[in-house]
Amino acid sequence: MSLLEVHDIHTYYGKIHALKGISLTVEKGEIVTLIGGNGAGKTTTLNTISGITPAAEGYIIFEGKDITRAPAHQIVSFGVIQSPEGRKIFTRLTVRENLEMGAFIRKDLAKIARDMEYVFHRFPRLKERINQLGGTLSGGEQQMLAIGRALMASPHLLLLDEPSMGLAPMLVEEIFNVIQYLNGESGTTILLVEQNATKALEIAARGYVLQSGYITHRGTGAELQHDPTIIEAYLGGH
Amino acid sequence: MLKSIPIAGRLRFGNDPVQTFLYMAGGALLLFFAFIAVRNTLTGAYGIDDFLQGIVLGLAQGSIYALIALGYTLVYGVLMMINFAHSEVFMGGAYIGFFAINAFHESGFLAENTLVALLITMAIGMLASVILAVLLERIAYRPLRNAPRLVPLITAIGASITLQQIFLRLFGGGTRSYPVVSLCIGGTLQGTTCEGGIDIMQGRYQVEVFGGEIVIRPLYFVIFFIALILMAALWFFVQRTKVGKAMRAVAEDKNTAALMGVNVDRVIVLTFVLGALMAGAAAVLFALYNRQVSPFMGFTPGVKAFTAAVLGGIGNVPGAMAGGVLLGVIESAAPQMLGLPSQLEDVVAFGVLVLILIFRPTGIFGEVLAKKKA
Amino acid sequence: MVRNTTRNFLVVMAVLALLIVPAMAQDEGTVVVEAGDPVVIGVAAVISGEGLAPLGEDIVRGVELALDERGTVTVGDVEFEVTIDVQDDLCSAEGGQAVANYYVSNPQIVGIVGPTCSSACRGAGPILDSAGYIMISASCTNPALAADFVSFNRTAPNDDAQGVEDAIFIYDYLGITKLATIHDGSPYGEGLVTNVAAAFEELGGEVVAQDAVTVGDTDFRSTLNTIAAAGPELIFFGGFPAEAARLAEQRADAGLSEVPFMGADGLYSPELINLGGAAVEGVYMSTPAPAVSDALSEFVAAYEEKYGFAPTAAFHSYSHDAVLMYLDAIEAVGEIDADGNLVIDRAALAEYIANYGAEEPVVGLSGLLSCNGDGECAQGGIGFFQVQDGEIVRLETMSMELE
Ligand SMILES: Nc1ncnc2c1ncn2[C@@H]1O[C@H](COP(=O)(O)OP(=O)(O)OP(=O)(O)O)[C@@H](O)[C@H]1O
Ligand SMILES: [Mg+2]
C-alpha cells in the first residue's frame, strides 16, 4: 500500500476546472516530484491533498485513511505537512514563533525542543535571528524558515511547493542539499513541486508531469530526464 | 499585534498639495486649540483642578471604552471586518447582568456578600456577552466568510439592529437601573456610609488640589485597574500562549495557519469570545458606574470604542487600550478646557480623531510595517 | 387575435374603473364610516424608548378610559362605536413623520390624539397639514407648534406658560438667584429651558451656566463638572426621565450633591424614581396639572382599578379631554347620508375643534377647555411637585390655578 494515493481528483475554483482527474502515488521514503509549467495545477494538487481546496470528485488515501473531505487542520495532524508556495512565513511572528507554529499540533515538548535544535543546526542563520520578526528576514532566510517550520511538524509526508523559487543559485544548491539530506538521513517522504525540473528530477525517485490539469507523463526520475518531449518543454533542451 | 491598515489612508497623499494642506489645516487647528486652552487657563476660567477632575473622570470612562475597543480590534485584526454588532454584545452583558444583580439585590445576597455577588454578576455579564458573540459569529458571519467584504459589514449592521430589537421585544424598551451598591473596605457599613473604611463603589472624596476642589471616587480607580488587569491578561494570552500565537497566525494568513494544523474556525470563534469577555466585563463595570441599562445603551459607547480602536490603530491591541483611555480623557477634559458646550464633546472627540489621522493615518500605534508593505 | 386584444383591453379598463370609482367616491376631504363600522381615532404616543414609554402609555390609558366612559358617537339617530389605532411616535421627528404618513394613508382615521413629544408633533405637522388631518396633543408643549401647523391643537398648557411659572417658582418660592440650565437637545427641552432662563433673568435672577447633553449618553459628569465651576444654586433640566436620573445622580460626582435639581412635565413620572432611586430624592418638577376635582379623583381611581397602578405621567387627563373633543366634534359636524353612512367633513371638523369652547368654555377633566382658534385649548394651570421619600408629592405653592 502506498503512503499516499491520489485517485482521479477534480478540483474547481468556482467555475474554473483546475484539476481534471489527477492520479498519483507516493511510496514511503520516496522523493516524488511534480513538474509542469505555470498554471498547470501543481499548487492546486498540493492544496487539494492538504484540504485547502478540497476535491470535488475523486479520493485521496493517506496511510490507509480517506482524507478527501477532512478539514485542513486535521490532515496536518495525520502528518501531511505542506510548505506552501511563496514561503508564507508569518511576517509578524518572530523566527522562534514561526518554528513553534510549525509544531502547533505536537505536544511532546522535549522532542519539539530537540527538533528546533536540529533546525538551528541545519540553518545556523535562523538561530542568529531567533527573535527577529519573520518579515525582516531575507528571501533565502525566509525559505530556510519555511522549510524549518515544516520540519517542526515532524512530517510523515512533506509537501514542498517550489522551495527554490526566487533564490540565488548558491542557495538553490543548499536547499536541494537539505531536501536530499532530509530524505536520506531522516527518511522523510517528500512530494516536491518544482519549476527547476532538471534538479528536481535528479534527486527524485519518480516524477509526474502536469499540464492544464492533466498528468501527461509519469516515470522514474531518470526516464523523465531523458524523455525528449520533456527535455523540449521543461528542461530547457534545444 | 495583528494587522493594522490605514483606514484613513486616503488622508495621506504622499507629497502632494492636498497632504500639505491637511498638515497645515491640522497644525492650525492644533494651534487654535492650544491658544484657547492657554487663554482659558490664564483667565482663570480653567484651572489645574478642572484638568485633574477631567483626567480622573476620563480615566474611568476611557478604560471602559478601551475594553470594548479590544473587541473591535481583535475581530478586525483576524477577519478584516468591523463587527458593528459588538455594541450589542456589550449591551447584552450589561442587560443580563442586570437580572443577576437585581436577583442578588432582592434576595439580600448582594448586601450580605457584596464582593462575591459583584464578581458573579460580572461573570454572568461576561458569559452573556460570550454567548451572544458566539451565536453572532456562527449565524451571521461564518456563512459569509468568503463573501465580498461589504457583505459581512452590512450583515453586522443588520445583526446590531436585530439584537437591539430582540432585547426590546423580550424585555421592553424601558431603562433599568442597577442597584446602588456599597462595598466598604476596611470599615463597617452603617446604612449607606462606610464607617472607618472606604466605600470603593459609592465613596466620594472631596480633595483639595491647586486651590480647587475635586471629587474623587475610588470607583474610578477600581474600574481603571480592573480594565488594566483584563487587558494585561489579554495581552499575555495573545503574545505568550500557543493559542494566542495561532490567533496571530490566523490574523496574518488563514490558509497557512491551517497548514500548521490550526483549526481556523475555532480560532475565529475564540477571537469573538475574547472580545466578548472584555465587552461583558466592560458592560458590568459601565452599568455599576452609570447604573442605567436599556436595549439601546450600546450605541454610544460602541461608537466611542470603535473610534478609540481607530485612534489607537485598528487591529492593534495596545493601540485599543491607549486609544480608549485617551478618548475618555479628551472627551471629559477638552470641552471645558476649550470653553465649549459639552454637547460638543463628541465633536471634540472626533476632531481629535481626524487630527491624529492626519498626522498618523494608521493611528497612534499603527504599525509602520503596514505602510511599508502598502 | 384582434378580438382577444380588444377583450383584454376592455377587461383592464373595467378593472381600473372598479378600482378608481370607489376611490373617487371617497373624497379626500371627508371620512365615510359605513353603517355598522366603527369610527377610528389615531393615537400617536411614544411606547418604546429609554424612560419614555411610561409617558406615552399614560396618554393611551387616558384615551382608553375616555372611551370606557363614552365609547360611541350618535349622529342623527345612528350610533357608531369608536375605536383607536395606536402607533408609536418614538418621541422623534422621524417617528412623528412615520406615524403621520401611516395615518394619512388611511382615510378612515378621523383625527389623531398625540403625538407625545414636541419633536414628533413637529415631524407630523407638515404631513397632517397637507392632508387636512388634525391632531390634538395631550403633551406637545413646545410653544411654536400652534402657530406653525394648522393641524395642531393641544389640551395641555404650553411651555410659555410653564416656563414663566417655573421661573417664578424657582426665584420666588425657592428663593434662588443663580440658575444653571441643561437641555437634551429636543425641541421640548430646548424651548422650555430658553423660556425658563428668559423669565428667570427678567425676574432679576442670574443664569450662570447653560449647557446641553445628548440623549442616550450616559456619562454627564464632565458636563456637570463644567457647570459646577459656575456655582449654581439650582440646576434646571429640560428633558426626560432617563437623562434626568443620570444627571441627578452624577451631580454628586461633580460636587453638586447639595444643589437642587428641577425639571418639568417631561420628568413627571414614577419612571424618574425607578431609574434614579435615592439620587432623585428632592428633585422638583412642574407639570400641567388640573385643579384637583372630584371628577379627576374618580378618574384616577378608575385608572388605578383598570390598570392596577397609579398614573405613570401627568398626561392622562389631557388625552382624555382630547378624545371628548373629537367625540363632540363628530357629533356636531357628522352627517348621515342616504345609505346610512356617517360622513364627516375634515374641514368642518378642524374648524369645530379649533374653536372648541371658544364661546363658552367646556368643563374637561384637565380644567376648562377653550380653544383660541390657533390650537391652544388649555386653560388649566401648572402644578409643582417634589420627590419626597420616593413619591412625587404636590407642593402647596402660590401657583395660579385658573379656574
Ligand atoms: N484562487 C484561485 N482562483 C481561481 N483560479 C485559480 C486560483 N488558484 C489557481 N487558479 C487557477 O488554477 C490553475 C492551476 O493553478 P496552480 O496555482 O495550481 O498552478 P501551478 O501549477 O502551481 O502554477 P505555478 O507554477 O505558476 O505556481 C491556473 O489556471 C490558475 O489560474
Ligand atoms: Mg504553483
User: What does the alpha-carbon distance between residue C289 and residue C139 come to, in Å, rounded to a whole number?
Assistant: 12
Atom of ligand 1 nearest to the CA of A85: 27
Residue C359 burial by CB count (10 A; 0-12/13-18/19+): exposed, middle or buried? Answer: exposed
Lowest mean pLDDT among A104-108, B218-222, C15-19, C77-81: C15-19
Record: contact A97-B245, CB cut-off 8 A: yes
Encoded amino acid at C240, one letter: F
Residue B35 burial by CB count (10 A; 0-12/13-18/19+): exposed, middle or buried? Answer: exposed
User: What does the alpha-carbon distance between residue C196 and residue A128 come to, in Å, rounded to a whole number?
Assistant: 76
Contacts of C277 in chain B (CB under 8 A): 177, 179-180
pLDDT of C402 over the 70 cut: no
The CA distance from B274 to the nearest CA of chain A, in Å, is 20
Q: Across residues C64-76, what is the average pLDDT?
A: 92
Amino acid B332: pLDDT:
84
Nearest CB to B342; choose among C223, C241, C245: C223
> What are the pLDDT digits (tens) for C87-137?
999 889 999 999 999 999 999 999 999 899 999 999 999 999 999 999 999
Q: What is the ipTM of this complex?
A: 0.92
Q: What percent of chain C clears pLDDT 90, i.e. is strictly above it?
A: 59
The CA distance from B69 to the nearest CA of chain C, in Å, is 17
Amino acid A57: pLDDT:
93
Record: contact C48-B173, CB cut-off 8 A: yes
Residue C299's pLDDT band, with cuts at 50, 70 and 90, is: very high
> What are the pLDDT digits (tens) for A8-39?
999 999 899 999 999 999 999 999 999 988 89
Amino acid A236: pLDDT:
63
Secondary structure of chain C in HEC code, one letter for each residue: CHHHHHHHHHHHHHHHHHHHHHHHHCCCCEEEECCCCCEEEEEEECCCCCCCHHHHHHHHHHHHHHHHHCCEEEECCEEEEEEEEEEECCCCHHHHHHHHHHHHCCCCEEEEECCCCHHHHHHHHHHHHHHCCCEEECCCCCCHHHHHCCCEEECCCCHHHHHHHHHHHHHHHCCCCEEEEEECCCHHHHHHHHHHHHHHHHHCCEEEEEEECCCCCCCCHHHHHHHHCCCCCEEEEECCHHHHHHHHHHHHHHCCCCCCEEECHHHCCHHHHHHHHHHHCCCEEEEEECCCCHHHHHHHHHHHHHHCCCCCCCCHHHHHHHHHHHHHHHHHHCEECCCCCEEEEHHHHHHHHHCCCCCCCEEECCEEECCCCCCECECCEEEEEEEECCEEEECCCCCCCCC
- A178 in contact with ligand 1, CB cutoff 6 A: no
Q: Does B243 touch chain A (CB under 8 A)?
A: no
Distances A189 to A99, A154, B325, C342, C387 between C-alpha atoms, Å: 20, 11, 54, 94, 83
Amino acid C25: pLDDT:
43
- Three-point CA angle B172, B177, B179, nearest 5°: 140
CB B174 within 8 A of CB C53: yes
Query: How many helices, marked H, and strands, marked E, lie in chain B?
Result: 14, 8
Record: contact B297-C218, CB cut-off 8 A: yes
User: What does the alpha-carbon distance between residue C37 and residue B238 come to, in Å, rounded to a whole number?
Assistant: 68
Q: What does the DSSP assignment read for B92-139?
A: HHHHHHHHHHHHHHHHTHHHHSHHHHHHHHHHHHHHHHHHHHHHIIII
Q: Which residues surround ligand 2, an ion (CB under 5 A)?
A: A 42-43, 85
* Ligand 1 mutation target, pool A9, A11, A13, A19, most atoms within 8 A of CB: A13
Q: What percent of chain A clears pLDDT 90, i.e. is strictly above it?
A: 66
**Whether the predicted model's global pTM rises above the 0.90 cut:** no
Q: What does the DSSP assignment read for B35-97?
A: HHHHHHHHTTSS-HHHHHHHHHHHHHHHHHHHHHHHHHHHHHHHHS---TTHHHHHHHHHHHH
pLDDT of C138 over the 60 cut: yes
With H, G, I as helix, E, B as strand and everything else as coil, classify residue A136. Answer: helix
With H, G, I as helix, E, B as strand and everything else as coil, classify residue B151. Answer: helix
List, in sequence order, every residue forming a beta bridge with C153; answer none if it has no partner.
C136
User: Cα(A212) to centroid of ligand 1, in Å?
Assistant: 10
Q: Does A71 touch chain B (CB under 8 A)?
A: yes
Contacts of A53 in chain B (CB under 8 A): none
The CA distance from C268 to the nearest CA of chain B, in Å, is 16
Q: Does C309 touch chain B (CB under 8 A)?
A: no
User: What does the alpha-carbon distance between residue B3 and residue B366 come to, in Å, rounded to a whole number?
Assistant: 9
Which residues, other chains included, contact B167 with Cβ-Cβ below 8 Å and sequence gap of 6+? B88, B91, B92, B95, B295
User: What does the alpha-carbon distance between residue A68 and residue A75 come to, in Å, rounded to a whole number?
Assistant: 9
Nearest CB to A92; choose among B252, B263, B264: B252
Asked whether the CA dihedral A115, A118, A119, A120 is positive or negative, the reply is positive
pLDDT tens per residue across all 374 residues of chain B: 444 444 444 444 456 677 788 888 888 888 888 888 788 777 777 778 888 888 898 999 999 999 999 999 999 989 988 999 999 999 999 999 999 999 999 999 998 889 999 999 999 999 999 999 999 999 999 999 888 888 988 999 999 999 998 998 888 777 888 998 888 888 787 777 888 888 888 888 888 887 778 888 999 999 999 999 999 999 999 999 999 999 999 999 999 999 999 999 999 999 999 999 999 999 999 999 998 898 889 998 999 999 999 888 888 888 888 999 999 988 888 888 887 777 777 787 778 778 887 887 788 876 644 433 33
Record: contact A90-B252, CB cut-off 8 A: yes
Chains C and B physically touch (3 or more Cβ atom pairs below 8 Å): yes
C-alpha cell recorded at residue B115? 464582593
> What are the pLDDT digits (tens) for C159-188?
888 888 899 999 999 999 999 999 998 888
Contacts of B252 in chain A (CB under 8 A): 90-93
Amino acid B35: pLDDT:
82
Contacting subunits of B (3+ beta carbon pairs below 8 A): A, C
Q: Look at residues B91, B86, B59 and name the one whose alpha carbon lies nearest to residue B283.
A: B91
Nearest CB to C216; choose among B180, B300, B333: B300
- A109 in contact with ligand 1, CB cutoff 6 A: no
CB C343 within 8 A of CB C78: no
Strands A206-211 and A31-36 turn out to be parallel
With H, G, I as helix, E, B as strand and everything else as coil, classify residue B291. Answer: coil
User: What does the alpha-carbon distance between residue B206 and residue B337 come to, in Å, rounded to a whole number?
Assistant: 21
Atom of ligand 1 nearest to the CA of A44: 18
Encoded amino acid at B69, one letter: A
Please name the residue whose Cα sits nearest to atom 5 of ligand 1. A13
Angle between helices B86-107 and B299-312 (to 10 degrees): 130
Residue A204's pLDDT band, with cuts at 50, 70 and 90, is: very high
pLDDT of C212 over the 60 cut: yes
